[in-house]
Structure formats: structure tokens, C-alpha cells
């Protein structure tokens, strides 16, 4: 066989081998792994970061109840605007003055800035008490780690506040009072044991008059009422003085010829914080 013929046969053999091979096509398959996310329950309102410019007229206010926080007038006014309608609605339905409800909410929650308000939507410092089956949180108050009610939304706290007062016999005497007499209600709450702070009534009254919360009572009662300004200087003859807007311990020390430390000592004050409507000893 010639060399050319042998070479030709070799080429045919190689070609036949290649044509008999099977072609395997491979492709990558993407595997999707689903991750099941847990449900995150958020019980307090989302915090909105707002940059507030505090002018000279926006004075710092210390609110001492279960909140014990410092806030500013415009923050309190924003709080009032947020909850005035539900306070008026509760007044119509349950007979609790809207001014009292709002003042308690402001004082107890620190205008919504206090720990209980932030973590449990509890704006009134209401403890668990017997019969409470809802969620709860622990918070230091009169004693360490006391049980407080927890709500899904502040509006639930407002509704429960009304139910709390109307459903307990200890507060029954309040509902015999004039719905427009916020002073009597403030004193009645303390007498019924809502708070242990002896200054509690004056703090509520001070907030109501400073922010004119009685106007919401007027709207519900369809009346026109404005508290008569007391002659506060004449009170000094009795040895007491009612704090007015703009007063400070320093200004009072100059007015009554006492040192700031003397005023703090005779009034058992731990710091310089005073509240509008609060009565202090000056002798």
C-alpha cells in the first residue's frame, strides 16, 4: 500500500472516532436559598430624628413623675396637638376632663419622651395591678422593677387611662365633681391615691394653666371659661408663694431676700427645678 493510501485511511479513522463521541452540554444551576425572617414586634412609635432649634422663648421644662425627663415648651405643644382630640373624645365618653387627661399624659410621660412611653407606649404610669393580662415591662418607680402595663400604641394607653379611672371604686368620688373643675380633679386624683407625690395636684394645675388646657374642656362643655389670675404677691403673707411662668429659684431668692440654698432646704428640693403652679415656702 502506498504511503498516500495509508495516510488517507488514517484520516478517515480519526474522523469516524470524533463523530461517534456524544456531546455533553453542562450549565450551572443557581440555587436560591430562602431565608425566613423572624417577625420583629415594635411596641413604641418609631423615633423620628428632628433637629429642633430652641429659641429664647422655648424654655426647658422638667417633668417629674414616672418619666423624670427634661423637655421643651414646643415639644409639649406638639404633644398636646397630637393627643388633644382623643382627650376630648374620652371626656365626652367617660366624663374625665380633657385638661386633666392631657396634663397627666404630659407629666407622666415627659411629653412622650419618658422611658415608659418610649418602650411600652405607657403615657400614664399605670402599673399592672391585679387582673391585667396584657403585656408588661419592668421599671423602677416607688420600688425597684415594678410591673407596668405595655401597649401597642399610645392611643391604647389613653383609652386604658379612662377605663382605669372609671372602673375602680377608689376614683368614684371624682365623677361627682364638676367636669370643668380641673383644680378639684387634680386634688381628687392625689387624694384617691393615683400618685404619692404631694406636689402632684399643683404640677397638674400648673401644666393646665401654663398651656391653657382648660380650653379643651370648654370646647366639650360648650362654655367660655378662663381662670382668674390669683394675687400671688398677697399669698406671701401666708408664707407661701405660687410659682409663675418665668420664675426661677434665683429670681425668687432676690424677691424674698433668701438664698437659693435656703429655698431648696425649706422646700426639700434636690435641684433647681420648679413648676408653674407649684406652691413653695418662702418663710
Report the distance separating Cα 190 and Cα 187, nearest Å.
5
Q: By percentage, how much of the chain surpasses pLDDT 70?
A: 71
pLDDT digit string (tens) for 65-89? 666 778 888 999 999 999 999 999 9
Do 169 and 257 fall into the same domain?
A: no
Helix runs in 110-199, H state only: 115-120, 154-166, 182-191
- Mean pLDDT of the chain, nearest integer: 78
**pTM listed for this prediction:** 0.64
Report the distance separating Cα 11 and Cα 199, nearest Å.
111
pLDDT, greater one: 150 or 72: 150
Do 110 and 232 fall into the same domain?
A: no
Mean pLDDT, residues 14-40: 38
Do 193 and 250 fall into the same domain?
A: no
Query: In the chain, how many domains are there?
Result: 2
Is 46 contained in some domain?
Answer: no
Q: For residues 25-64, b (16+ Cβ closer than 10 Å) or e, as one string?
A: eeeeeeeeeeeeeeeeeeebeeeeeeeeeeeeeeeebebb
Do 246 and 120 fall into the same domain?
A: no
CATH of residue 282: 3.10.350.10
Do 220 and 244 fall into the same domain?
A: no
Do 217 and 243 fall into the same domain?
A: no
Domain boundary among 194, 226, 258: 226
Contacts of 203 (CB under 8 A, 6+ apart): 64, 65, 107, 197, 275, 277, 278
Do 218 and 98 fall into the same domain?
A: yes
Do 163 and 218 fall into the same domain?
A: yes
Is 47 contained in some domain?
Answer: no
Residue 279 belongs to what domain range? 228-283
Mean pLDDT, residues 226-254: 69
Do 211 and 259 fall into the same domain?
A: no
Question: What backbone torsions phi and psi does residue 77 show, to the nearest 5 degrees?
Answer: -65, -35
Do 64 and 111 fall into the same domain?
A: yes
Domain boundary among 179, 196, 226: 226
Q: Is the pLDDT of residue 23 over 70?
A: no
Report the distance separating Cα 214 and Cα 208, nearest Å.
6
At 97, list the grid cell.
376632663
Q: Is the dihedral of CA 133, 143, 98, 111 positive or negative?
A: negative
pLDDT band at 52; cut points 50, 70, 90: very low
**Residue 279 forms beta bridges with which residues?**
242
Amino acid at each position: 500500500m502506498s504511503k498516500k493510501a495509508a495516510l488517507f485511511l488514517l484520516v478517515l479513522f480519526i474522523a469516524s472516532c470524533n463523530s461517534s463521541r456524544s456531546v455533553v452540554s453542562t450549565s450551572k444551576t443557581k440555587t436560591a436559598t430562602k431565608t425566613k425572617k423572624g417577625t420583629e414586634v415594635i411596641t413604641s412609635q418609631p423615633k423620628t430624628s428632628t433637629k429642633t432649634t430652641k429659641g429664647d422663648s422655648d424654655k426647658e421644662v422638667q417633668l417629674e413623675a414616672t418619666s423624670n425627663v427634661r423637655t421643651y415648651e414646643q415639644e409639649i405643644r406638639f404633644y398636646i396637638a397630637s393627643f388633644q382630640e382623643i382627650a376630648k373624645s374620652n371626656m365626652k365618653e367617660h366624663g374625665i376632663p380633657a385638661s386633666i387627661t392631657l396634663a397627666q399624659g404630659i407629666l407622666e410621660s415627659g411629653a412622650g419622651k419618658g422611658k415608659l412611653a418610649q418602650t411600652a407606649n405607657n403615657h400614664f404610669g399605670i402599673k399592672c395591678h391585679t387582673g391585667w393580662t396584657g403585656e408588661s415591662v419592668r421599671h423602677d418607680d416607688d420600688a425597684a422593677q415594678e410591673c407596668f402595663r405595655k401597649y401597642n400604641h399610645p392611643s391604647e394607653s389613653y383609652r386604658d387611662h379612662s377605663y382605669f379611672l372609671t372602673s375602680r371604686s377608689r376614683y368614684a368620688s371624682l365623677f361627682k365633681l364638676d367636669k370643668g373643675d380641673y383644680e378639684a380633679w387634680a386634688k381628687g386624683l392625689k387624694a384617691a391615691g393615683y400618685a404619692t407625690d404631694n406636689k402632684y395636684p399643683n404640677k397638674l394645675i400648673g401644666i393646665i394653666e401654663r398651656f391653657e388646657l382648660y380650653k379643651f374642656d370648654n370646647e366639650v362643655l360648650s362654655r367660655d371659661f378662663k381662670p382668674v389670675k390669683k394675687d400671688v404677691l398677697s399669698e406671701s403673707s401666708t408664707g407661701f408663694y405660687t410659682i409663675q411662668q418665668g420664675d426661677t429659684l434665683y429670681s425668687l431668692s432676690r424677691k424674698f431676700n433668701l438664698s437659693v440654698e435656703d429655698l431648696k432646704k425649706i422646700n426639700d428640693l434636690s435641684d433647681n427645678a420648679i413648676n408653674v403652679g407649684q406652691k413653695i415656702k418662702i418663710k
